[in-house]
Amino acid sequence: MLKAFDMSLKGQLFWIRLGFLLLLLAIWEWSARFWVDPMFLSPASKVISNLPTLLSKPGLWSALSVLVLELLVAFLGSVLIGTILGLAVGLRASSRKQLLPIVLLLYGTPQITILPIIMLMVGVGFGSKVTFGITHGMFPLILSICSSLQNINPIYLKTGLSLGANKWQTFRWILLPAILPNFFNGIRLSLVASLLGVLLAELFASSSGIGFFTRQFTESFDPTALFGLILIVVLISVGANALLSSLQIQMSRKR
């Protein structure tokens, strides 16, 4: 009975999401046709029908593949660095008290201001885009891990110690289950933030790739191609998020 209820709820959520998506597309279509100047916004139907033409442009597939590679490396770097720093800051109350304000200060700093420094240090190219993606993506994960560790009931830790649990057993059976839900939420936020960082670096620190095509379509007032490119990037992000969501479900079942 519970399984049938769960399937029914998932079906309702699917139709709600589909209806919301169709509503957004309808608003986009109506706005482009009757409200916004066509020089700045193309109808959704025109953008979607133009996708095959857009994808046939020389160099676009190469630019998309480079974007996916940059996103993958930046995301993995964000997860690795964010997890290490999150545990280093969050495992001890003294560390949280001393280091968490510094993390929050750095997170609150507009990241675009450090892009010139990154370009000076690693140059204009793959390295600067990946580095900028990491600086965007690691902070949500650090804060998610710190928040999870901070909210653990001290009674669980005292119980583990009274039963003779060592540090590894305490981490494996008490800390890790407490971290895991927020950890996956953090890495999904990290993915989006990493993509933002990579795209910003593409725009300001690249003479090719997606940034080049974005500037080209913008400067030539080609909203059909521009919104088509944005739609492709959105689909990449949604697909990656769906994979992470599926992984989260599988890991939650194994727990």
Phi and psi at residue 125, in whole multiples of 5°?
155, -155
What are 36's two structure tokens?
């916004």
Domain edges within the chain: 47-254
Contact at 8 Å (CB) between 143 and 103? yes
Give me the average pLDDT of each 10-residue run along the chain (255 residues): 53 75 84 80 85 86 88 93 88 81 84 81 82 90 86 74 73 78 85 88 75 82 87 87 78 61
Residues 6 or more apart whose Cβ sits within 8 Å of residue 208: 59, 63
Instruction: Tell me how far apart the alpha carbons of residues 217 and 221 are, in angstroms, rounded to a whole number.
Output: 6
Q: Which of 200, 180, 158, 176 is nearest to 67 (CA)?
A: 200
**pTM, to two decimals:** 0.81
Contact at 8 Å (CB) between 231 and 47? yes
Report domain 47-254's class. Answer: mainly alpha
C-beta neighbour count of 228 within 10 angstroms: 23
